[in-house]
Structure 1
Amino acid sequence: MAFIKEESEDVEIEETLNVKQEETEEQIDLKVLKVESKVLDEVEEKSESEQTATINNFVCPQCGKSFAKKRNLKEHMNIHSGKKPFSCKQCGRRFAQRGNIKRHMMVHTGEKPYACKLCEKSFTTELNLKYHISSHTGEKPFICGDCGKTFRYKATFKKHMASHLKQSSFECHQCGRSFTDQESLGNHVKTHTGENPLMCGHCGKTFSNKTNLQVHTRVHTGEKPFSCPQCEKSFRFIGNLQTHLRVHSEEKPFTCPYCEKGFRFFGNLQSHVRIHTEDKPFMCLQCDKSYKNKRDLKWHQQSHSGETLPCPSV
Structure 2
Amino acid sequence: MEESEESEELSEVKEESEELSEVKEEIEELSEVKEEIEELSEVEEEREELSEVKEESEELSEVKEESEELSEVEEEHHVKPGGKPLSCSKTKQTFLKKRRTKKSFTCTQCGKSLTTKHGLDAHMMIHTGEKPFSCDQCGNSFSQSAHLKEHMKIHTGEKPFTCHQCGKTFLRSSDLKRHLRVHMKEKPHSCSVCGKSFSMLQSLHTHEKTHTGVREYMCFECEKTFTTANYLKQHERIHTGEKPYKCSHCDKRFSCPGHLRSHERIHTGEKPHTCDQCGKSFTTKRSLERHMRIHTGEKPFSCDQCGKSFTTKRSLERHMRIHTVEKPFSCDQCGKTFLRSSALKSHLTVHTKEKPHSCSVCGKSFSLLLYLHTHEKTHTGVREYMCFECEKTFTTADGLKLHQRIHTGEKPYKCSHCDKIFSQSSSLKTHERIHSREKPHTCDQCGKSFSFKTNLKQHMKIHAVEKPHHLSLRSQTTRKHLEGEDRENASDPESAE
Both proteins in one fold, TM over 0.5: no
Give the number of the structure with larger relative contact order, counting CA–CA contacts within 8 Å between residues 6 or more apart.
1
Q: Shorter-chain-normalised TM-score: which range?
A: 0.3 to 0.5
Give the TM-score normalised by structure 2. 0.27
Specify which structure has the higher proportion of helix: 2
TM-score in terms of structure 1 length? 0.39
Greater radius of gyration (CA): 2
